[in-house]
Structure 1
């Protein structure tokens, strides 16, 4: 299985500055104004998914075996 990078950036159409996003099954999340902030929010998002008792079991299973929820 291929692992892809979930963090990416694009230029803001108005300011021309880089804005950062992360990709999840639920869609693109952002914008964030630094890569660091996008990575923090991605980690929070994953932790929330793993700890949510209503979340699909696959997510908790993959994390429990050291995998990535997006694998």
Structure 2
């Protein structure tokens, strides 16, 4: 299963300012619990974003997903 989000803006987790500038994208793969004996893999197309807030100590941040625990 592949998951990608199409939100136009992502909020910086460090300063709470929205950003729409994508730095790059990458895939993250997670293994879920088996279903009927079959392995289940979830592939997330994750985005790394620029933070345009000059007061923020972070220039980039990765998109976060509330439904997953890392």
TM bin (shorter chain): under 0.3
Normalised by the length of structure 2, the TM-score is 0.26
Decide which structure has the larger Cα Rg and report it: 2
- The structure where strand makes up a greater share of residues is 2
Q: Higher helix proportion, which one?
A: 1
